[in-house]
Structure 1
Amino acid sequence: MASLLSPEELAALPHDDRGPALVATSWTLTCLGSLLLGLRVYSKMVSHRSLWWDDWILIAACVALVTDAGLATHMVVYFTYGRHSWDFQPPDIDAFVLVVAVRATFTVVAIAWTKTAFAMTLLRLTDRSEWMKRLLWVVIITMNIAMGISALFFWIQCRPLARSWTPSIPGSCWDSKINERYNIFSSAYSAGVDFLLAALPWKLLYNLQITRKEKLGTAIAMSMGVVAGVTGIIKTTKLPKLASPDIYDAADLVIWDIAEAAVTMIGACVPVLRVLVRDVGNSSRRYGASEDASQIPSAMRSGKWKVGDSGADKGPFSSASRTRDTDEDGSEKSILDDAVPRGAIMRVKEVTLKSRPRERSDSLRHGNAFELGNLRPAQ
């Protein structure tokens, strides 16, 4: 396009470049998601728990996300992607289209698998709720089919098929509006899945036997998918930019593609990381308690103490007269030795205390690993 413009017309056009922002944003979000996933795996290792299906699916999604960010960087560095059409000069347009197709496929995989992993986590918590199990399986299957078709369309839209990723080959392709409309549908459905998966934990926690504060904190941690849903909606609104004559307009879509996958991964890791944060907090409190114990006076630690030195405490049963000491033979004197005459008859009442174990929730009782942060998973 630049060759069709005079130098004066070209100089009057904007020459913005979104490439650097695309690379920086993509890798920042990818690294943050990968870091939290690493902490999630670490928290399970230190608590001696094995990885389950949701963990492995999330690891595979992370690999897809890193590949996605790497291909986006390659598009910017090698093909000058992110610039306006009049400045966009890829060395090989066929190679560029192929990279775009591969990157789009990894984007769909990363988005679909991060949501699948979180849904699988919720499946572990639904021992007694058959309707919720069926709902989650419907969500997992339909969402993966919808997203898979979205990725497939890019590879089958032309005849011969090779023209789909090699535009220099003669042939024909279907109307681009078909891809655009279906992508809007699949992206909107994906965002709806995020909101649904964020709402289900509130139902799961409703009858759980934990404090209201912990229940609220756990539900909020499990509802981080709302942020992913909002990200998906923003991305959906930018899909029509794919039809823009200026390729610069479509660069935003790449950023929001990667953002949706990364934010979904972060949302899936936050609930499990609450376990790690809780354990670190408990360790700190135990350390503080041991430090406080070291400050106890030696007389109290050795078993010799006197309670109440105030002059107001008088009389045979006053706190000032209740002392504890040890005889020369090592036996302890009664704290009432000085108050009760020898040979006196004392009335003693025995009280027996019984405690009943607190009933655990169904999820814990049936051996599920309940990774909601404030509840320790069943081993």
Structure 2
Amino acid sequence: MVTYVPLSVNKRGRDMVIVLWTMSAVSAVFLGLRLYTKVLRRRRLYWDDYFILAAWILLALSASSTTANVRRGFGQHIFEIPLENLVDITFGVLSNISGFASILAVACSKTSFAITLLRLSDGWMKWFIWSLLILLNTSHYLSALFFWVSCNPPAKTYNRTLPGTCWPDYVSRNYSFFVGACSAFSDFALALLPWRILLRYNMYNREKIGVAIAMSMGVFAGVICIIKMTTIPLLYGDDFTYESFPLVVWGFVEPAVTIMAASIPMLRHLFKSLRRDGDLSTTTSGLRTAQSTTNQPTNRRQNFLQNLRKHAGEKEGDDGPTVARESKADLEKAVLTSNGKDSATTAAEKSGDDNRSDSSILAKVQLQGTSSACPSNDKGGRGVFMSKLGKAT
């Protein structure tokens, strides 16, 4: 009979569950935005999308298995866990499933980004990426398999009460270090390759750096992998249910961060769409303001003359119509002399303002928006790369 341990008692396990499901939720947001961008652009899913979707499903499976084991006491000191929970076969099966799914999630998430780069590269870089894929997947799939076959009989891997033998700890530990080294090397290599690819294209530095940074977020996964490697020995201690907390957390954070990093390059299309909609809204508002402005009187000379006529009319009641007419004529003459523009020029300016159309304003805005673009005759330049990047993402 299994005894469930409350999270209020198992505080270390509670923290583990919070981290796992928080990272699952955040990575799900990035993945969802990535897939939404594909739908928005009416692009079909490619192999990199299927791999990253599989990575998240495996991540959720790992989080679910770990959560179930936390309810059984995982996260506490081994002597605090009820004995019936430790000898229960479910405890060992859930532990194997958690580690198995977490390692496969790492492999699938990094394979996804490597496939994206394959569509942008050629020559020796394509062969190099294929070599990374073979190394990465072979090492990780074997590591995941060892969770189930490292003992004889294999059932002893999840039921330690059975008679039999298992591989020495140093074999599993050393191979885990090797897998971690392969993973970290792949992360840094895949993060640097976009910079090498972009060197071949004639693009402005700001644009080139922006694209390269967006495609190099995997470097954070490499750093996390190195941190995870420092916690591997904790799995082989006498109190592994308590001490393995950092290994479980970092082993889960690594694929979650990789999913986010691999999705960022695809999100640039969504950001561009939102920015374009914002610019269009601003332009429309400006057009409405311009239309309302052109409908108002713009000839200050006429306004001033109206005020003068009003002033002259007031004098007519005091001094008689003769004085008013003379005063009015003198003032109009003075204004005409000091104006500096004849009536024909003023009329032409007003006509030009009134005849300005929405299409001319839009044309000006579009011209300003494209003034910083790269020259259209750059061979192998921005247009070529953006076309390949658009197809790949």
The alignment's TM-score, normalised by the length of structure 1, stands at 0.78
| Residue 168 in structure 1 maps to residue 161 in structure 2 | yes
Residue in structure 2 matched with residue 53 of structure 1 by the alignment? 47
> Of 201, 219, 236, which aligns to 1:208?
201
The one-letter code matched in structure 1 to 2:110 is K
What's the offset of the Cα at 1:360?
A: 6.6
Secondary structure, counterpart of 1:51 in structure 2: coil
Counterpart pick for 1:249 among 243, 250, 263: 243
Three-state SS of the structure 1 residue aligned to 2:231 is helix
Aligned residue in 2 for 1:31: 25
Mapped contact 2:215–2:261 kept (Cα < 8 A): yes
Residue 299 (structure 1) shift: 7.4
Distance, in Å, in 2 between the alignment partners of 1:94 and 1:156 is 16
Q: Any unmatched runs of 5+ in structure 1?
A: 1-14, 327-355, 372-376
The question of 1:222 aligning with 2:215 is answered yes
CA gap of 1:137–1:169, structure 2 versus 1, over 3 A, is same
- Equivalence map 1:11-90=2 (5 Å): 17-77=11-71, 79-89=72-82
Q: Does 1:125 align with 2:120?
A: yes
Give 1:370's aligned amino acid: L
1:67 maps to a residue whose letter is: L
% identical equivalent positions: 32
Task: Name the SS of the counterpart of 1:207 in structure 2.
Answer: coil
Kept in 1: contact 2:220–2:257 (CA 8 A): yes
**What is the correspondence of 1:93-108 to structure 2 with a 5 Å cutoff?**
93-108=88-103
1:142 aligned to which of 115, 135, 138:
135
Q: Please, which of 267, 286, 290 is the counterpart of residue 292 of structure 1?
A: 286
RMSD over equivalenced CA pairs, Å: 3.2
The answer to whether 1:236 aligns with 2:239 is no
Q: Residues 150 and 183 of structure 1 are in contact (CA less than 8 Å); yes or no, is this contact kept in structure 2?
A: yes
Q: Which whole-Å CA distance do the structure 2 matches of 1:205 and 1:113 have between them?
A: 25
| Residue identity in the other structure for 1:110 | A
Q: Matches of 1:133 and 1:236 in 2, distance apart? A: 29
Structure with the bigger percentage of helix: 2
Q: Please state how far the C-alpha of 1:370 moved relative to its aligned partner.
A: 0.9
Equivalence for 1:116: 111
Q: Within 2, Cα distance between the matches of 1:157 and 1:297?
A: 78
Q: Aligned residues, how many?
A: 329
Q: 1:49 to 1:363 in 2, by over 3 A?
A: farther
- Cα contact 2:202–2:381 (8 A) shared by 1: no
The answer for the alignment partner of 1:266 in structure 2 is 260
Summarize the Cα distance change of 1:298–1:18 in structure 2 as closer, same or farther, 3 Å threshold: closer
Deviation, 1:324, is 6.4
Q: How does 1:279-318 map to 2 (within 5 A)?
A: 279-297=273-291, 300=294, 314=340
CA contact (8 A) 1:40 1:272 kept: yes
Question: Which residue does 2:389 correspond to in 1?
Answer: 370
Partner of 1:6: none
Identify if the C-alpha distance between structure 1 residues 298 and 259 changes in structure 2 by more than 3 Å, giving closer, same or farther. closer
CA deviations 1:340-361 (Å, max 9, x no partner) are xxxxxxxxxxxxxxxx844474
Larger Rg: 2
SS in 1 for 2:219: helix
AA partner of residue 103 (structure 2): V
**Where do residues 322-361 of structure 1 align in structure 2 (5 Å cutoff)?**
322-323=348-349, 325=351, 357-359=376-378, 361=380
> Which digits, 9 at most, give the CA deviation of each residue in 1:229-257, with x for residues without a partner?
11111111000001111121012211111
Change (3 A) 1:363 1:284: closer
Alignment partner of 2:289: what SS?
coil
Paired residue secondary structure (1:168): coil
What is the CA–CA distance in structure 2 between the aligned matches of 1:307 and 1:135, rounded to whole Å?
Answer: 73
Residue from 171, 177, 185 that aligns with 1:178: 171
- State the Cα distance separating 1:192 from its structure 2 match: 1.4
Instruction: Identify unmatched segments of 5+ residues in structure 2.
Output: 1-8, 303-334, 353-374
Give the direction of change, closer, same or farther, for the CA distance of 1:122–1:301 in structure 2 (3 Å limit).
farther
